[in-house]
Amino acid sequence: SETALGKDNAAAVKAAAGEGAGRSLFLLQHIQMWTKLRPYYRTLLVEASKLFDMHVYTMGERGYAMEMVKLLDPDGSFFGDHVVSKNDSTSRSVKDLDVLIGSEKSVLILDDSPHVWHKHRANVLEIERYHFFPSSLKHFRMKGRCLLEREGDEDPALGPLASVLEVLKEVHREYFATENPQEHDVREILKRRKAAVLSGCKICFSRCFPKGTEPGDHPLWKLAEELGAVCSVDLDGTVTHVVTTSEGTEKALKAAEMGIHVVKPGWIHASLYHFKKAPTVD
């Protein structure tokens, strides 16, 4: 997570108490930016580097890319010179694997913006965005308080990066489970892994979609199906979860009476980011 110099400074300085190897907050004066490294990032890189050839791919300028790589990989042991920036990409608005050597069948992509991978969405493991600074929430027009304002941070062992690492290991293990791994396709493995996340769940949506639109065309409906759920707008005894933006809807109230879980749309996204059914709060 990063923020421009001059914003969030007082709070950021307060949070930057650490120095040395454990330090996670950095002031990059020459590009006028604070940068906060995410908890568990080091473990993710160490463990993933044992299994994968890793690249950095950003739509930022090369100067920015190299500054970030210096923080993440100061000795070059993880990425080496495998850095793709805006200057190297074949498109200014989307990312594409055509700038990398390797088969699409063997590439996994970690990104918090899967929409930029128009031709390679099936390769993407979507990571939850890391909102440490207030300006990050503002940039994405999100409400609430950032981690800095809450004077906290992600739990390294329970955060999204730990979940992603486990999925990376699972996909790698299945890919190389046969004598001819080239016959496998990580996209198919990832698709099956995603479909197991909400398998066995039947979701009834309530007040989640604009009136006059087809529910099945909405991204939230499609995501739930991608994660293995059966979706409906009708409430009956086979429904396991009602997803709603308001607990006061008729369906939500009825579901509560029936002992059915009533959750917010964020429950589906939380399940995606952790690759398992998220806890419910009834």
Token pair listed for 3: 């923020």
Class of domain 2-191: alpha beta
d(CA 81, CA 104): 21
Contact, 240 vs 261, CB < 8 A? yes
pTM of the entire predicted model: 0.88
Q: What is the pLDDT of residue 259?
A: 97
CATH class held by domain 197-274:
alpha beta
What would the pLDDT profile of 111-155 be if each residue is shown by its tens digit? 999 999 999 999 999 999 999 999 899 988 898 999 989 999 999
- State the Cα–Cα distance between residues 234 and 247, nearest whole angstrom: 16
Each residue's pLDDT tens digit, 162-187: 999 999 999 999 999 987 877 899 99
Helix axes 266-274, 219-226, angle to 10 degrees: 40
User: Per residue in 42-70, pLDDT tens?
Assistant: 999 999 999 999 999 999 888 889 999 99
pLDDT in tens, 88-113: 888 878 999 999 888 999 999 999 99
Within the chain, strands assigned E span 2-4, 25-28, 33-36, 56-57, 83-84, 109-111, 124-126, 202-206, 230-232, 241-244, 261-263
> Interhelix angle for 160-175 vs 41-49, to 10°?
10
For the chain, what are the domain ranges?
A: 2-191, 197-274
| 8 Å CB contact between 154 and 38 | yes
Query: Is the CA virtual torsion 249, 250, 253, 258 positive or negative?
Result: negative
- Euclidean distance between the first and the last CA atom of the chain, given in angstroms as a whole number: 32
